[in-house]
Structure 1
């Protein structure tokens, strides 16, 4: 059996908000640390971008060989971003014997002379351990398992529109052959909600599950957003809601087609006059006006701010469907059909269509995420996915300048919510469910609630701490660590997030890796010693993730304190070990496998690097050691380290173990029975070795059934 995984690949993600209208018609830094427009990237024409993608495709075999990928692996060029100085970032998806590799994406960073300078991986290195691509489990049995195991929908069933696809699941340490199944049932988004369930193709174990078109968690308020201008098209004897200026985006009346196939009964909106909607739900056009206007404003935001032409940066608009399904309290983007769907709400919100301005911005931004980092819609990466849409949906609201819906950091404030909003970025915890501060349980809560951590970070980066009124609404940026500071402004904060998303994040990025990505993005845009990068670090510390960098301005203010139990770097300056916090990679250590890693599949205790031992779900051994350690000659010397144990085993029997050996003697043993929700500090007495030079070894052993993961960090002898 294979190790338990906590992340998932998102096929589609929930949308968010819109407004109305009428009318016609790791790491490559920049050459300069000066402020860059468009998050530092060149504007590219459709033809130019395609030429860059074609070249990336031609380079793919050589790149795969240079990166050490296996003969059965292929790289598929997905996106190319070009710096102002000609350096570029090429994003690839991966296949294995023709099957898509979930979690196999990577970004190759090239200098302006074309040389590869670094690579950002979702799954480090080549695909190893997959015996073949012939499943032991039949597709029918996998579908039945998915129906039985679905947790997001009730009475799950497989319809003729649902799929069962063979993939290589590389989200975990050991890739496995799996089925990605889709089931339909009653859920939060309506009677035809859909859920993806990943099933191990050998053992039948459920690897992960997530909503395919996840609900946004709230509802809309009214379609009358004031008189606005729309871009429409004229043909024959009338007009249609086809926006030729924004990729020929078409808004359709879905006529209550099921959310699994919104085009089933769809018709174009067409009429002889060019005046649309009446500002109420009595006209089916009113919701379409909202959607058309909101999507156009979202397109304009990405184009004017980041030189991005549409969702996939190829100048192509995605079709949008309003009046989807019946009593659908949801809006969503679906990458499989490259389309957006908007429900009419339900009795829970007075049947208000989900077509507010920030909803359109949120949903179209899910498409941008799918086209770039493709953050898995599960675990911490799912929270980052949702937050990205909240961040850019909010920025669309600011950039639209609509007096009926002024910019603010409330999500869904135009929706008919009991407390007046769906989410708040300045104070996420105000809704009673969202997380405002990072904790080890962030990967276990609903992604709409874990998104609060990144939303809070973004607000604090942009606006800083303290109370203020924005868009006529009260805001209060309250940090988790009691710090106080000013923000860098929403435009710079958005540029940092966009660059981090498109350049340094991958499908498996977690919160710790997101911090690293945004710090690198800030350094690229504004300089490594810039005030902007410093504030980014302050904002992360203010949501309980890491510590602030030293103030580049030389102020006497001390860095923000690290959250309890989550220090960054080596907490013991008197450490007799070399590189005890692993922040220098494998320096000083000898490892039998590539255990020392900065992979974002797991979370370090501090900093970015840690040791990941075991987790195979099959018989295996590993060792991690360091020699010639001078144990102090006075006092009570001890070995301390932080250990996190997660397991598929149950009970108190020690099936899988991690032993601490000093000079060949076992001083401590930990096992699956020591499983913990987070890191726990361990202490081993070294008094018997006082004044000696010793060899330290961590030795892991796993039996043939079920997996146990041992994570080590911040190891110290003193």
Structure 2
């Protein structure tokens, strides 16, 4: 289950004394002043300053883990530190359990300028409860299971160079000892595609699968940038495509080495003159020129816009390889080798290399994602991963301001594709496959297709709705809810996305979590009551993720939706009214959760189709609590019309499982209507199956109400409440 868990606990750090204490707070991170900040609000840091910040975070790691309630077997490893313009810090950690990597164990701790923690974002909240680290399966058995379960490649076989390794898989509420295996076979990336498969170390059951080459599946035009200046290095009488101005980035000729070993025949581009390529594929240098130019422009974009120095913010360039394999319609980034690979295309696109400007920006941005939120490359987080690369690849295109490839919101428009582009951000579904609007199935489609939701959001946040010509191409910002509104501009939208990615998203963030993260980022940058934050919420609502915030009434208000046939709802009747007017809300929406989060507001990502638990009906349900540590959660829906006749009732199916013993109440789930508790269930109600519950709503006959399921768990032993098939009638 993909969960973005916000604020399990907060940590206050006194750096001078090296002490850490727990403080109470209710928000992911405290929103600061409303004044606008440049870029995404992060300072540039020299290497020695960043190094000291990393060492400080490392010294704090053990105390931070204790203060967050993590167990004695858990360790934190600092991954990065970002410092805001006002001195606030965001420290990103990875987690291990008894020395094993924890997939979904990453977190970010936020500190204000005085060293006091304001909150944390955790991919998995609280301590890890794992029953031993001795697997029932051998590594060989795990590899065999991975081959059987691989779904991204055909004719799968174990990757001899990357054997199965034990991990803790903590993407769901219940961590599992697992094996992470790598298989190879025929897939979208070509004949030697690689896929990660995670299987349960006890049963061999599949837990997750995802492609390891995170790239653009398509073709490229190796002569798109035209005549440009590139950075090279002279040694004696020879020049090489080594870019010292951008971290020593080197572009190699792979000489058609296979994907499984792209470096096998690789050699540097070297010559006695400093003139490269001829603008056509007849010269092997032409593709290298495009790659060198594109990677330099991507580096400059991140540096000038966000004060980020390279992929890992450490000033080090990643090597790139062009002319990989034969007939390879792909380009990809591989974090294992910290390098990028570009194919030469195939007969489907007249063998044009995959080295266009937005491709280079896309691939290098996969590296930035790996170095920050490290979004899992499957499910909704995988769609966000791809969307991030499309977003920043597009922004690189605008930044470069190349006359031969002007900025637009088309992805791969220079790749000589049969349809003229790979994806469109203004209306993703125009390609016939990509998703423009969120639905409960978003996590089960290919990540290049579910990325359309994030792409669509970014376009609308940037440009708003309506027809426009951008970069000489037609765009039309359509919405999923028939709303119309203005955008905040691409630079502000990119700043919001980058800050959300860097400071608030984690490996398990889904689309609901991305909305939360971007709203927090917008509050940080422009203020809680800013038009920017409001319009970000409008853009999410326009792609069916959540609802728009109330208009703060500052600046130029957004236009009203074009539809005017539906009158505004009347005010909710006062509880003291002597008559019983008809309710003004709607019937309860999506009571079976089969439309995902539609209609519901959740404090955590409780609504899920995870196979780690069973739904009562269909495949979706609400999974509340089950942490085994102090926690609270809320799942609610407003504007529900209670029938005005008969004896109205709330019915739902509830399954309670617990690690507690006896009948003492420790963990509870309350049913609240308009803030009043009508029923309480607890660990004492535990059983083996779903039980239908009924709550009398006669006191609310003919009124519009808010329904809330509110969970509370104490610090010891877990209780899980599963809720499904809710109805009012």
What TM-score, normalized by structure 1, do the two folds share?
0.80
Check conservation: 1:384, 1:451, Cα contact below 8 A: yes
1:468 aligns with 2:468: yes
- CA distance in structure 2 between the aligned counterparts of 1:368 and 1:517, rounded to whole angstroms: 17
In the alignment, what sits opposite 1:34? Answer: 35
How do residues 471-550 of structure 1 correspond to structure 2 at under 5 angstroms? 471-550=471-550
How do residues 15-26 of structure 1 correspond to structure 2 at under 5 angstroms? 26=27
Check conservation: 2:224, 2:357, Cα contact below 8 A: no
Shift of 1:158: 1.8
Check conservation: 2:287, 2:322, Cα contact below 8 A: yes
- CA distance in structure 1 between the aligned counterparts of 2:690 and 2:193, rounded to whole angstroms: 38
Check conservation: 1:659, 1:670, Cα contact below 8 A: no
Shift of 1:642: 7.7
How do residues 10-89 of structure 1 correspond to structure 2 at under 5 angstroms? 26-29=27-30, 31-89=32-90
Please give the per-residue CA displacement for 1:651-710, whole angstroms capped at 9, x wherever unaligned: xxxxxxx99996999xx9999899xxxxxxx9947379999xxxx9999xxxxxxxx993
Distance 1:549 1:689, change over 3 A: closer
Matched residue SS, 1:195:
strand
Shift of 1:303: 0.2
In the alignment, what sits opposite 1:278? Answer: 278
- CA distance in structure 1 between the aligned counterparts of 2:559 and 2:651, rounded to whole angstroms: 26
- CA distance in structure 1 between the aligned counterparts of 2:335 and 2:574, rounded to whole angstroms: 52
- CA distance in structure 2 between the aligned counterparts of 1:127 and 1:459, rounded to whole angstroms: 39
Shift of 1:258: 2.2
In the alignment, what sits opposite 1:121? Answer: 122
- CA distance in structure 2 between the aligned counterparts of 1:452 and 1:258, rounded to whole angstroms: 31
Distance 1:709 1:252, change over 3 A: farther
Moved more, 602-611 or 355-364: 602-611
1:710 aligns with 2:722: yes
- CA distance in structure 1 between the aligned counterparts of 2:329 and 2:78, rounded to whole angstroms: 36
Matched residue SS, 2:278:
coil
How do residues 59-458 of structure 1 correspond to structure 2 at under 5 angstroms? 59-128=60-129, 130-214=130-214, 216-458=216-458
- CA distance in structure 1 between the aligned counterparts of 2:545 and 2:235, rounded to whole angstroms: 55
Check conservation: 2:194, 2:211, Cα contact below 8 A: yes
What is the RMSD of the two structures over their aligned residues, measured on CA atoms? Answer: 3.8
Distance 1:621 1:531, change over 3 A: closer
Shift of 1:711: 4.5
Matched residue SS, 1:434:
coil
Check conservation: 1:31, 1:85, Cα contact below 8 A: no
- CA distance in structure 1 between the aligned counterparts of 2:114 and 2:80, rounded to whole angstroms: 19
Shift of 1:150: 1.1
How do residues 589-604 of structure 1 correspond to structure 2 at under 5 angstroms? none
- CA distance in structure 1 between the aligned counterparts of 2:57 and 2:103, rounded to whole angstroms: 21
In the alignment, what sits opposite 2:600? Answer: 606
- CA distance in structure 2 between the aligned counterparts of 1:311 and 1:499, rounded to whole angstroms: 15
Check conservation: 2:224, 2:356, Cα contact below 8 A: no
State how many pairs are aligned. Answer: 624
Shift of 1:236: 2.3
- CA distance in structure 2 between the aligned counterparts of 1:211 and 1:644, rounded to whole angstroms: 37
Check conservation: 2:256, 2:326, Cα contact below 8 A: yes
- CA distance in structure 2 between the aligned counterparts of 1:462 and 1:483, rounded to whole angstroms: 15
Check conservation: 1:7, 1:381, Cα contact below 8 A: no
Distance 1:486 1:63, change over 3 A: same
- CA distance in structure 2 between the aligned counterparts of 1:494 and 1:160, rounded to whole angstroms: 41
Asked which structure has the greater RCO (Cα within 8 Å, sep 6+), the reply is 1
- CA distance in structure 1 between the aligned counterparts of 2:527 and 2:478, rounded to whole angstroms: 27
Distance 1:89 1:711, change over 3 A: farther
Distance 1:575 1:461, change over 3 A: farther
Distance 1:625 1:366, change over 3 A: closer
Please give the per-residue CA displacement for 1:295-326, whole angstroms capped at 9, x wherever unaligned: 00000000000000000000000000111122
Shift of 1:266: 1.1
Distance 1:219 1:203, change over 3 A: same
- CA distance in structure 1 between the aligned counterparts of 2:526 and 2:183, rounded to whole angstroms: 46
Matched residue SS, 1:107:
strand
- CA distance in structure 2 between the aligned counterparts of 1:711 and 1:218, rounded to whole angstroms: 43
- CA distance in structure 2 between the aligned counterparts of 1:116 and 1:222, rounded to whole angstroms: 49
Moved more, 549-558 or 512-521: 549-558
In the alignment, what sits opposite 1:652? Answer: none
- CA distance in structure 2 between the aligned counterparts of 1:417 and 1:527, rounded to whole angstroms: 42
Check conservation: 1:69, 1:126, Cα contact below 8 A: yes
Distance 1:67 1:156, change over 3 A: same
Shift of 1:473: 0.3
Distance 1:716 1:633, change over 3 A: closer
Distance 1:641 1:89, change over 3 A: farther
- CA distance in structure 1 between the aligned counterparts of 2:699 and 2:488, rounded to whole angstroms: 52
Check conservation: 2:624, 2:721, Cα contact below 8 A: no
Distance 1:640 1:403, change over 3 A: farther
Moved more, 32-41 or 447-456: 32-41
- CA distance in structure 1 between the aligned counterparts of 2:183 and 2:384, rounded to whole angstroms: 25
